[in-house]
Structure 1
Amino acid sequence: MGFLIRIFLIGVGTYAIYQSRYKILNYILGIASIRRFVVAFGMDIPFVRDRFLQTVFRG
């Protein structure tokens, strides 16, 4: 019985996080140090860096 309750609670929690994922992401990226880390990490990935630079310097 406890196993079913645990599975149900995990499902409800996952659904709640999924519904508010953009609010959570905006809150996390609103912190300057975390945002700086995410951008630096993303720019270390060649595909992401190339796509970003293509978008910025498109002309």
Structure 2
Amino acid sequence: MGYLIRMVLIIAGAYAIYQNRYRILNSILGVSPIRRFVVAFGMDIPFVRDRFLQTVFRG
């Protein structure tokens, strides 16, 4: 019975996170050091950096 309750809670939690994923992401990225880390990490990935620069300097 405990297994069933645990699975229901995990599924309900995953659903709640999925429904509020953008709100959670905005809250996390609202913290300046975390946002700076995420941007720096993303720019270290060649595909992301190239895609970003293509979009910015498209002419």
TM-score range, shorter chain: over 0.9
**Which residue does 1:46 correspond to in 2?**
46
Map Cα deviations across residues 12-53 of structure 1 (whole Å, 9 max, x no partner): 000000000000000000000000000000000000000000
TM-score, length of structure 2 as denominator length? 0.99
Residue 8 of structure 1 deviates from its aligned partner by 0.3
Residue type of the alignment partner of 2:29: L
Residue segments in structure 2 that go unaligned for 5+ positions in a row: none
**Share of identical aligned residues, percent?**
80
Q: In 1, distance between residues paired with 2:25 and 2:9?
A: 22
Moved over 2 A (4+): none
Aligned length: 59
Residue segments in structure 1 that go unaligned for 5+ positions in a row: none
Q: Does 1:25 align with 2:25?
A: yes
TM-score, length of structure 1 as denominator length? 0.99
